[in-house]
Amino acid sequence: MSQENWYGLKVGIEIHQQLDTEEKLFCRCPTESSEDARLEIKRYLRLKRSEMGEEDRAAKEEVERKKKFLYKYYDSTCLVEADEEPPTEINREALRIAIQVAKMLKMTILDEIHVMRKIVIDGSNTTGFQRTALVALDGEIEVKGEKIGIATLCLEEEACRKVEEGEGVTVYSLDRLGIPLIEIGTKADIKTPEIAKETAKKIGMILRSTRKVKRGIGTIRQDVNISIKGGARVEIKGVQELDLIDKVVEYEVLRQLNLLKIREELQKRNAQVLEKIFDVTEIFTNTKSKILRGKTVKAILLKNFAGIVGTEIQPGRRLGSEFADIARAFGLGGIFHTDELPAYGITSEEVEMLKKAVGANESDAVVIAAGDPHRAERALRRIIERAKYCSIGVPEETRKANEDGTTSYLRPLPGSARMYPETDVPPVLSYEFLDVEIPELIEERAKRYAKLLPEDLAFEIADSKHYRLFEEFSSSIQPTIVARVLHVIPTELRRENLNVDSLKEEHFRMVLEMIRNGEIAKEGADNALRILIEKPFASKKELKELIGSKKDLDSFIQKLIEEKRDLIAEKGESAFKPLMGLVMSEFRGKVDGKIIAEKLRDAILRKVKELRPQNS
Ligand SMILES: [Zn+2]
């Protein structure tokens, strides 16, 4: 679809990338994740008025949810994360990386870098604010021939990791709090879903070119700001999959268009939302619905809304889903509405009684919520507000990305007066970093490698942590073989769920050297890497021997399994013991018993599966 067809779409992307520094941003703790918490700290959210004297609407809603926060504390965290001690100076290593990225994005770097406090209201920071420093402004990148402006680059502290969310309580882990994070915000120059995705990809590539960013799930997150003509600005949080960005944008356009259609229909019908909240607990005293039974049930009446609450606004999501999101944000399980009833154990008699109790007729809709009476009351109060807004248009809000590309309501869009100076941390003058140089971009490196490798593989190798080994060995070993060792084989081993991340630079170097020196055949590389995953401290000599015996072992086991198939058919997995004896008598002292046991067990399990009748 061309630019004009996207309904005046404007998209800005915010990218958050964790940095792979030794220490955190404002304390000297490591940036690795931890296990085994030492203790838990309990906090409530208190609402502070901003210096302007106004209450933030998002903060107000969070307080109304009356949530309690628990924080997991580790040996690898300190009193700074717990907000019991002031922060240290800003981490210079992190600032250096931030300035390097700013230069790559052709931005103007600020002379003085000041740390500010940005109010955070979801408990994800023990202090109630996030420390953030604006480093650079106003840059530009080119994406598929379009110029996309870069508005800001900030260096900030990562929030806590959310471990658990229950009714009225959220549990956070302090290990992630304070990891340095670069936040890059583009201008709202993006006009199609595809360019949105490509922009995020390009910025990700630029960040990885520094070789100083963390990798893996959760280490990079994209927030997407979206609006269309006649709609509203919506911020979608936490898109983790790059390949989902275009879909998220498309679905949000669809949602806003459908909300505008709903507005038109409601205006035509002269729809009204009643302020009153009805207590309808009595109707459901003996209900078959497990969700309602034994709970307080409250209801609201939406006049002339019949059919509207059940209208689909995104694939698999209805207007009612938006109301349910609000209920969940207030700690309830969700809502029911008459467009979807009778169902879920609620009978048509109960629906009739419900309608009668609130004075609803055929053209109306009724929404019910069950649970703690105060929570239900507060949630329905908010749903009344939301339902009223259906006749006005699309509300500005913060939403969260779901795995299928749809989104759910999270909270109102926060107000803008949310920053104030952090007086505990002194500012830094950026001329300290005049010597920072721009590294080679991964895509530039990929172009060089494409002379030696297929294009896709060239990019993978250029993007790899071990690209330097490729440069070192591709003159003495065939480049495709080097690429196989560094990327193709590890990818295959990863699919077998082997711990490929335990392979370090020295392991790849060892295998490449042995291939170069003719100590192992290039076909042996696969086995060599498998062995190094199991035995990371193996020497070249041991590795050579193991490759030899491993091959013998595999074929010995295979032959044995075939010979003893009747035994396996009869005894199943308990054929392991007698067969293990046979293998051990042959390989004792040559191969680690643990490896033999694993291989034999796998082979028996495969055989058992194979012998099992298909239709059972
Ligand atoms: Zn610390």
**How many angstroms separate the alpha carbon of residue 84 from the centre of ligand 1?**
11
Band the pLDDT of 30: cuts 50, 70, 90: very high
Band the pLDDT of 45: cuts 50, 70, 90: low
**How many angstroms separate the alpha carbon of residue 131 from the centre of ligand 1?**
14
**How many angstroms separate the alpha carbon of residue 68 from the centre of ligand 1?**
23
Q: What is the CA radius of gyration of the chain?
A: 30
**How many angstroms separate the alpha carbon of residue 45 from the centre of ligand 1?**
22
pLDDT value of position 356? 96
Distance CA 520, CA 544 (A): 7
373-389 and 319-329 helices cross at what angle (nearest 10)?
A: 140
Band the pLDDT of 590: cuts 50, 70, 90: low
The whole-number average pLDDT for the span 586-595 is: 74
Token digits of residue 63 = 């307080």
Band the pLDDT of 614: cuts 50, 70, 90: low
Higher confidence at residue 66 or residue 540?
Answer: 540
Which CATH architecture does the domain made up of 272-390 adopt?
Answer: 2-Layer Sandwich (3.30)
CA end-to-end distance (rounded Å), the chain: 50
Q: What are the pLDDT digits (tens) for 140-154? A: 999 999 999 999 999
* Residue closest to 337 by CA, chosen among 304, 367, 379: 367
* Residue closest to 307 by CA, chosen among 299, 298, 319: 319
**How many angstroms separate the alpha carbon of residue 86 from the centre of ligand 1?**
10
Could you tell me the pTM of the whole model?
A: 0.81
Q: Please report, for the chain, the start and end positions of each structural domain, with discontinuous segments joined by +.
A: 15-237, 272-390, 466-538, 540-616
User: How many other C-beta atoms are found inside a 10 Å radius of the C-beta of residue 74?
Assistant: 18
Distance CA 564, CA 561 (A): 5
**How many angstroms separate the alpha carbon of residue 115 from the centre of ligand 1?**
18
Band the pLDDT of 552: cuts 50, 70, 90: confident
**How many angstroms separate the alpha carbon of residue 37 from the centre of ligand 1?**
14
Looking at the predicted structure, is the pLDDT value of residue 130 above 60? yes
**How many angstroms separate the alpha carbon of residue 154 from the centre of ligand 1?**
21
pLDDT value of position 595? 77
**How many angstroms separate the alpha carbon of residue 213 from the centre of ligand 1?**
20
**How many angstroms separate the alpha carbon of residue 27 from the centre of ligand 1?**
5
Q: Which residues contact 497 (CB under 8 A, 6 or more apart)?
A: none
**How many angstroms separate the alpha carbon of residue 161 from the centre of ligand 1?**
15
Higher confidence at residue 509 or residue 122?
Answer: 509
Cα–Cα distance list, 377 to 50, 370, 374, 382, 410 (Å): 28, 9, 5, 9, 19
pLDDT value of position 616? 45
3 state SS of 468: helix
Alpha carbon of residue 384 to chain centroid: 31
Least confident of 379-388, 469-478, 544-553: 544-553
pLDDT value of position 369? 96
Q: What is the DSSP string of 72-115?
A: EE-TT--TTTTTSS---S--HHHHHHHHHHHHHTTPEEPSEE-E
Band the pLDDT of 610: cuts 50, 70, 90: confident
The whole-number average pLDDT for the span 156-164 is: 92
Looking at the predicted structure, is the pLDDT value of residue 233 above 90? yes
**How many angstroms separate the alpha carbon of residue 222 from the centre of ligand 1?**
26
Q: What are the pLDDT digits (tens) for 412-453? A: 887 765 788 999 999 999 999 989 999 999 999 999 999 999
**How many angstroms separate the alpha carbon of residue 79 from the centre of ligand 1?**
6
**How many angstroms separate the alpha carbon of residue 312 from the centre of ligand 1?**
47
Looking at the predicted structure, is the pLDDT value of residue 2 above 80? no
pLDDT value of position 51? 47
Percent of the chain predicted with pLDDT > 70: 94
Q: What is the mean pLDDT of the chain?
A: 90
3 state SS of 190: strand
Distance CA 366, CA 343 (A): 14
**How many angstroms separate the alpha carbon of residue 81 from the centre of ligand 1?**
5
pLDDT value of position 68? 83
Amino acid, res. 358: V
Q: Yes or no: say if 27 and 126 are a contact pair by the CB < 8 Å rule.
A: no
Is the N-terminal amide bond of 193 cis, ω within 30° of 0?
A: no
The whole-number average pLDDT for the span 196-218 is: 94
Distance CA 350, CA 283 (A): 7
